[in-house]
Chain A
Amino acid sequence: MNLILFYVFAAVLVLAALGVIAVKNSVHAALLLVLCFFTTSALWLLMQAEFLAIALVLVYVGAVMVLFLFVVMMLDIKVEPLREGFIRFLPVGVLVAAVMLAEMLMLIGVRSMQIAPPADPAGHSNTAWLGEALFTRFLLPFEIAAVILTVAVIAAVMLTLRKRVGIKSQNPSKQVAVKASERVRIVKMPSAVRDVAAKSEATP
């Protein structure tokens, strides 16, 4: 049963990945990439790496790809100019592909030489295990990664936060703090209503 499911998901994954680079419409490509992430997470679930699988859906499908789509849908990309350099860039592409293939083969070789992953002694779920490992053995790398990400976030905000002239922006706390006396001026006027009423009564 597991094997059948694995092959089904793997086939979908490969087809979707091919589709990402083959389809003409960039929005369709982005959606196929979403499908890729989703089937990958299904494969990981089959291997009982539930935390990684759900984190992949949560981070990549739920957030990153939404923003990706957001941008891709806004752009009106012409396909023709993008295809022009295909032959010119082919050698570079082949080189990168070859290096990646070699790396993957090496990784598989290293993995197969190792013994099977250690059985979990305490019977924890792998989420709890991952959490313990991250916050004890790998605390320093974890913290460093967190700092780097925070710096990246602040930098991204600072880059887009530029003052431009001629833009009207609102200051909500100023808006809330406003008093009626600053906006409306009550003008005292001699009442003229009674005169009009008296006249209109008088005319007939």
Chain B
Amino acid sequence: MNVFEPLRNYILGYGDIGLVVWLVICILCVAVPVILAVAFYVWWERKVLGWMHVRIGPNSVGPAGLAQTFADVFKLLFKEYLLPARSSKLLFVLAPLIALVPAFAGWAVVPFDQRVVLSDANAGLLYVLAMTSMGVYGIIIAGWASNSKYAMLGAMRSAAQVVSYEIAAGMALVGVLICAGSLNMSDIVRAQAGAHGLLSWFWLPLLPLFVIYFVSGVAETNRLPFDMAEGESEIVAGFHVEYSGAPFAVFFLTEYANMILISFLASVLFLGGWLSPFPQRWPILGVAGWWWLFAKAFFFAFMYLWFRAAFPRYRYDQIMRLGWKVFIPIALVWIGMAGVMVYFGWFGLGGAQ
């Protein structure tokens, strides 16, 4: 970051206004790449699904269809957007924005590299949990404000599902914070550094919690095979059935930004963030850096698409059963296991200690 030090000092020289300007610049440095990543992720999803279905996927707009998403976005922006006559107007317009804010706010505490993070907050893990749990408001408000049966059903399903899986995801994170001894995201990554490369990350001692966290993440973002909120085959498109044009594009953006966020979080919390999978003493491969984090996040992002192509959808009662009767008991037992492992010092306790 030393390259930007003079610029930072110059802007901060303007006092409070300078501070705000500098913060806005920092936030844009994260938010704009996220938006671009969403665009390419949508293209990648359609390509991967195409290959898994033995099709070609988008291939016409731009080289290898790369500009397809941008074309779609412009189409959506230029479309008329409709306000249902008996909807709750203000909430109907606000809902996509309320959905969008938590999806981007969560990025504030994601550490991309050693000391490359927007806010190195002490309670980073809790903050992330709080932000992901707020994402459901956009869906509920959209469903209610639309004044439509299908939208309402989608919102109700989504509310119940997200609250249930939040508990499982939160318990998985408790295991992580027991092992790391800290709520700070950078400390959690540092606690995973070890002589054995990828074998010293948390995924190995916390394997059940790792699986629970990622599957709960898929459920919390309402992705297949848990897409009860949309349920195209039964409630048309669920909570956003009344939305068109730009507000619909915002919902779309939110969903994919959340998926990428969960991918990054899973890599930071369980797969050692920016650490290299190879032992540190190896010459080039052992060097830690942001590229490892991006590779891991890409892996999880790909898993999302793979799940979508490979699994049939869950029935609603099966989803609830999986969350409450399978994930939560396993997570509770493994939290106890994590405590025992830390107590007997089975793996190095880094971070705070």
Question: Are the C-beta atoms of B121 and A50 separated by less than 8 Å?
Answer: yes
Interface stretch among A14-22, A67-75, A77-85? A67-75
Using Cβ atoms and an 8 Å threshold, which residues of chain B touch A112? none
Using Cβ atoms and an 8 Å threshold, which residues of chain B touch A63? 133, 163, 166
Question: Are the C-beta atoms of A62 and B321 separated by less than 8 Å?
Answer: no
Interface stretch among B55-63, B136-144, B297-305? B136-144
Interchain CA distance A126-B169 in the complex, whole Å: 24
Set B16, B88, B126, B162: member contacting A55, Cβ < 8 A: B126
Using Cβ atoms and an 8 Å threshold, which residues of chain B touch A170? 317
Set B133, B141, B183: member contacting A31, Cβ < 8 A: B141
Using Cβ atoms and an 8 Å threshold, which residues of chain A touch B155? 73
Set B122, B134, B152, B163: member contacting A50, Cβ < 8 A: B122
Q: With A63-B133, A69-B159, A172-B318 in contact, is A51–B166 under 8 Å at CB?
A: no
0/1 interface trace, chain A 108-137, chain B, CB 8 Å (1 if under):
000000000000000001011000000000
Set B129, B140, B352: member contacting A128, Cβ < 8 A: B352
Is residue A27 within 8 Å, beta carbon to beta carbon, of the partner chain? yes
Using Cβ atoms and an 8 Å threshold, which residues of chain B touch A50? 121-123
Set B16, B134, B156, B321: member contacting A70, Cβ < 8 A: B156
Q: Give chain A interface residues in 1-38, CB to chain B under 8 Å.
A: 1, 25, 27-28, 31, 34
Question: Are the C-beta atoms of A62 and B160 separated by less than 8 Å?
Answer: no
Question: Are the C-beta atoms of A127 and B183 separated by less than 8 Å?
Answer: yes
* Dominant secondary structure of chain B at its interface with chain A: helix
Is residue A66 within 8 Å, beta carbon to beta carbon, of the partner chain? yes
Question: Are the C-beta atoms of B126 and A58 separated by less than 8 Å?
Answer: yes
Question: Are the C-beta atoms of A66 and B163 separated by less than 8 Å?
Answer: yes
* Dominant secondary structure of chain A at its interface with chain B: helix
Question: Are the C-beta atoms of B160 and A70 separated by less than 8 Å?
Answer: yes
Using Cβ atoms and an 8 Å threshold, which residues of chain A touch B295? none
Question: Are the C-beta atoms of A62 and B130 separated by less than 8 Å?
Answer: yes
Chain A interface category by residue count: 20 to 34
Is residue B127 within 8 Å, beta carbon to beta carbon, of the partner chain? yes
Is residue A43 within 8 Å, beta carbon to beta carbon, of the partner chain? no
Interchain CA distance A62-B141 in the complex, whole Å: 14
Question: Are the C-beta atoms of B126 and A62 separated by less than 8 Å?
Answer: no
Question: Are the C-beta atoms of B152 and A73 separated by less than 8 Å?
Answer: yes
Q: Give chain B interface residues in 20-79, CB to chain A under 8 Å.
A: none
Using Cβ atoms and an 8 Å threshold, which residues of chain B touch A127? 122-123, 126, 183
Using Cβ atoms and an 8 Å threshold, which residues of chain A touch B321? 172
> How near does chain A come to B164, taking the closest CB pair, in angstroms?
10
> How near does chain B come to A83, taking the closest CB pair, in angstroms?
21
Nearest-neighbor residue (CB-CB) of A126 within chain B: B122
Is residue A42 within 8 Å, beta carbon to beta carbon, of the partner chain? no
> How near does chain A come to B193, taking the closest CB pair, in angstroms?
21
> How near does chain A come to B179, taking the closest CB pair, in angstroms?
15
Q: With A50-B123, A63-B166 in contact, is A70–B159 under 8 Å at CB?
A: yes
Using Cβ atoms and an 8 Å threshold, which residues of chain B touch A25? 88
Question: Are the C-beta atoms of B160 and A73 separated by less than 8 Å?
Answer: no
Residue among A25, A66, A170 with most chain B CB within 10 A = A66
Question: Are the C-beta atoms of B133 and A58 separated by less than 8 Å?
Answer: yes
Question: Are the C-beta atoms of B123 and A66 separated by less than 8 Å?
Answer: no
Question: Are the C-beta atoms of B123 and A57 separated by less than 8 Å?
Answer: no
Using Cβ atoms and an 8 Å threshold, which residues of chain B touch A73? 140, 144, 152, 155-156
Interchain CA distance A67-B157 in the complex, whole Å: 12
Set A1, A57, A69, A125: member contacting B140, Cβ < 8 A: A69
Question: Are the C-beta atoms of B130 and A57 separated by less than 8 Å?
Answer: yes
> How near does chain B come to A172, taking the closest CB pair, in angstroms?
6
Question: Are the C-beta atoms of A125 and B123 separated by less than 8 Å?
Answer: yes
> How near does chain B come to A85, taking the closest CB pair, in angstroms?
28
Using Cβ atoms and an 8 Å threshold, which residues of chain A touch B141? 31
Is residue A54 within 8 Å, beta carbon to beta carbon, of the partner chain? yes
> How near does chain B come to A37, taking the closest CB pair, in angstroms?
11
Nearest-neighbor residue (CB-CB) of B315 within chain A: A170
Question: Are the C-beta atoms of B126 and A51 separated by less than 8 Å?
Answer: yes
Question: Are the C-beta atoms of B140 and A54 separated by less than 8 Å?
Answer: no
Using Cβ atoms and an 8 Å threshold, which residues of chain B touch A58? 126, 129-130, 133
Interchain CA distance A62-B127 in the complex, whole Å: 12
Using Cβ atoms and an 8 Å threshold, which residues of chain A touch B130? 54, 57-58, 61-62
Question: Are the C-beta atoms of A27 and B144 separated by less than 8 Å?
Answer: yes
Using Cβ atoms and an 8 Å threshold, which residues of chain A touch B317? 170
Question: Are the C-beta atoms of A125 and B129 separated by less than 8 Å?
Answer: no
Q: Chain A: residues with CB nearer than 8 A to chain B?
A: 1, 25, 27-28, 31, 34, 50-51, 54-55, 57-58, 61-63, 66-67, 69-70, 73-74, 125, 127-128, 170, 172
A-B contact pairs, 30 of them (CB 8 A): A25-B88, A27-B144, A50-B121, A51-B123, A51-B126, A54-B123, A55-B126, A57-B133, A58-B126, A61-B134, A62-B130, A62-B136, A62-B166, A63-B133, A66-B159, A66-B163, A67-B159, A67-B163, A69-B140, A70-B156, A70-B159, A70-B160, A73-B140, A73-B155, A125-B123, A127-B122, A127-B183, A128-B352, A170-B317, A172-B321
